[in-house]
């Protein structure tokens, strides 16, 4: 018995009081829910579209954020930020929050921008190129199709966004972890697809770091595409590979490689964030990248 010091009559009264309290709270909760329902309306953050991809052979969900003041009939054009891992339950909502905050008139760090979140279907398939390691082939048999995903971005996604929305020529890509590997591959193989690269904790360990050994047009003196690159890594340690690699070392090697360019149009920023790990780095790194990649804009008072 929970109350050994109470007599039977007291226990009966206590039980009645508890029942009355429960009924009152239940009635209040039902009433509150009813009131909330009657006066509520959807909180709309953006648009959800489906794009049928012939390249990928499937439909892809796009989460689209349009900046405040965007009107289809206006002549104003906006930069576009393409977000890998752009599902609603991944990075879309908090990255949109950073974009919105930094584009407030009293902040004015980032120009008002359209954000395109590419929802995932199979990120291991889409974000990795074929590996030469037999163990990884057995462990990850679905991987190795980033060529199709990159072709989807180039031939279908970007033309669709530019046809449907009022965009200018500034295009940014954001990717972390395997998505950072994919963003790095685009930078190495097809650098002119974007003007700004935000690469965070890239999984350069894939195929034992072979991406770091590739030659790229971005290194040539003749490369004329204005390109700003932000590379960030936290205190992350060893990679999940049979051959030992260190995330911080690989990210630093990438920054050094790109910094060796002879082109005056390429600018590289390396950001080591020892207070962050692989799980926490995304938000802080994107916030830092906005300060480094975008020139200071006059604050409107």
Summarised one tens digit per residue, pLDDT across range 142-176 is 999 999 999 999 999 999 999 999 999 999 999 99
pLDDT value of position 215? 93
> 266: closest CA among 205, 209, 203, 191?
191
Number of domains in the chain: 2
Q: Are both 271 and 127 inside the same structural domain?
A: yes
Percent of the residues in the chain that have a pLDDT greater than 90, as a whole number: 77
Q: Are both 125 and 209 inside the same structural domain?
A: yes
- The string of pLDDT tens digits covering residues 204-215 is 999 999 999 999
Q: Are both 81 and 135 inside the same structural domain?
A: yes
Q: Are both 135 and 263 inside the same structural domain?
A: yes
Q: Are both 61 and 35 inside the same structural domain?
A: no
Q: Are both 56 and 19 inside the same structural domain?
A: no
Residue 80 within any structural domain of the chain: yes
Q: Are both 18 and 102 inside the same structural domain?
A: no
- Burial class from Cβ neighbours inside 10 Å (0-12, 13-18, 19+) for residue 177 reads buried
Residue 298 within any structural domain of the chain: no
Evaluate if residue 286 carries a pLDDT over 90: yes
Residue 299 within any structural domain of the chain: no
pLDDT value of position 3? 35
Q: Are both 19 and 57 inside the same structural domain?
A: no
Q: Are both 28 and 147 inside the same structural domain?
A: no
Q: Give 14's pLDDT tier (boundaries 50, 70, 90).
A: very low
pLDDT value of position 301? 64
Whole-model pTM: value is: 0.86
pLDDT value of position 257? 97
Decide which of 35 and 196 is more confident.
196
Q: Are both 17 and 156 inside the same structural domain?
A: no
Q: Are both 105 and 151 inside the same structural domain?
A: yes
Residue 35 within any structural domain of the chain: yes
Tokens matching residue 59: 């439909």
Containing structural domain, residue 9: 1-41
**Phi, psi (5° rounding) for residue 252?**
-65, -40
- The string of pLDDT tens digits covering residues 213-250 is 999 999 999 999 999 999 999 999 998 888 889 999 99
Evaluate if residue 16 carries a pLDDT over 50: no
Q: Are both 33 and 173 inside the same structural domain?
A: no
Strands 167-176 vs 266-273: parallel, antiparallel or unpaired: unpaired
**Domain CATH code at residue 256:** 3.40.50.1820
């Amino acid at each position: 018995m929970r109350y050994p010091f109470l007599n039977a009559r007291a226990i009966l009264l206590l039980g009645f009081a508890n029942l009355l309290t429960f009924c009152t709270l239940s009635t209040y909760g039902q009433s509150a829910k009813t009131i909330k329902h009657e006066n509520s309306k959807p909180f709309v953050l953006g648009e959800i579209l489906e794009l049928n991809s012939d390249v990928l052979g499937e439909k892809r969900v796009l989460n689209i954020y349009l900046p405040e003041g965007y009107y289809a009939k206006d002549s104003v054009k906006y930069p576009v930020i393409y977000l890998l891992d752009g599902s609603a339950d991944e990075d879309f909502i908090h990255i949109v929050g950073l974009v919105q905050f930094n584009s407030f008139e009293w902040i004015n760090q980032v120009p008002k921008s359209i954000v395109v979140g590419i929802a995932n279907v199979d990120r291991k398939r889409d974000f990795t190129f074929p590996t030469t390691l037999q163990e990884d082939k057995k462990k990850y048999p679905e991987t190795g199709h980033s060529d199709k995903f990159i072709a989807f971005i180039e031939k279908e996604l970007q033309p669709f966004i530019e046809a449907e929305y009022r965009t200018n020529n500034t295009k940014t890509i954001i990717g972390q972890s395997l998505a950072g590997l994919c963003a790095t591959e685009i930078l190495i193989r097809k650098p002119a697809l974007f003007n700004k690269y935000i690469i965070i904790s890239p999984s350069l360990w894939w195929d034992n770091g072979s991406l770091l050994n590739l030659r790229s047009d971005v290194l040539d003196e003749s490369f004329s595409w204005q390109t700003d690159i932000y590379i960030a890594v936290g205190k992350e340690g060893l990679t999940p590979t049979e051959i030992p690699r260190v995330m911080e070392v690989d990210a630093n090697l990438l920054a050094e490689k790109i910094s060796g360019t002879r082109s005056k149009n390429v600018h590289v920023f390396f950001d080591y964030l020892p207070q962050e790990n692989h799980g926490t780095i995304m938000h802080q790194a994107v916030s830092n990248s906005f300060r480094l990649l975008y020139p200071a804009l006059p604050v409107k008072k």
